[in-house]
Amino acid sequence: MKRSSIFLKFSTLPSRAPKVIHQHNPPIAAVIRADLLQEFLAWQAQKRSKSLAQAFSELRQHCKLSSHLRN
């Protein structure tokens, strides 16, 4: 597919509707609005799981704070 025909295809898309790009049926990419991308990236960062080392580091901090409060 030529670059000009790809541009023409995407230039006719409704601006608010995501477009999924398939290659031999499975989806390989999606074109979405920039604000949806920012929402997704914020959600992903919030949901990103902590490493075990980070979890233990936070636990040590909590234990230190708790022991200081008791004394």
pLDDT for 71 beyond 60: no
As a whole number of angstroms, the distance between CA 12 and CA 46 comes to 34
Q: How far apart are CA 47 and CA 43, in angstroms?
A: 6
Residue 28 DSSP SS3: strand
Question: For residue range 6-63, what is the model confidence (pLDDT) as tens digits?
Answer: 555 666 655 678 899 999 889 999 999 999 999 999 988 877 777 888 889 989 999 9
pTM of the model: 0.45
pLDDT of amino acid 43: 86
Tell me the C-alpha distance between 6 and 29, whole Å. 14
20 sits in which H/E element: strand 19-22
Token representation of residue 15: 């601006």
